[in-house]
Amino acid sequence: MIEFNWFGKTLIFFGAALMLIGSIFLLAGRIHWIGRLPGDIIVHKKNFIFFFPIATSILVSVVLSVIFYFLGKR
């Protein structure tokens, strides 16, 4: 017989992770400085907008690295 306990815990974990990610996306619209940090490249032309968030990407990378470092220390 298959052990469903592990499968249930895995589904709960992924469900909680999806809820957390969804909450972050909902709240991201209220944080107006994300994507407008010094170092983010924005080029406006007549019919063209180029957006490359270098500083925001670095900030997100550092935050996620710290989170995963502490989660991996267990």
Of the pLDDT bands very low, low, confident and very high (cuts 50, 70, 90), residue 36 is: confident
Can you give the length of the chain in residues? 74
Pair 25, 7 in one domain: yes
pLDDT at residue number 35 = 75
Q: Measured between alpha carbons, how far is 62 from 59 in angstroms, rounded to an integer?
A: 5
User: What per-residue confidence (pLDDT) applies to 2?
Assistant: 65
Query: Does one domain contain both 56 and 24?
Result: no
42 and 74, same domain (yes or no): yes
pTM: 0.59
Task: Tell me how many domains the chain contains.
Answer: 2
Domain that holds residue 20: 1-31
Q: Are residues 2 and 26 in the same domain?
A: yes
On whether both 41 and 72 belong to a single domain, the answer is: yes
Nearest to 34 by CA among 57, 65, 67: 57
Give the mean pLDDT of 5-10. Answer: 84
Residue 52, helix vs strand vs coil: strand
Assess whether 41 and 14 both reside in one domain. Answer: no
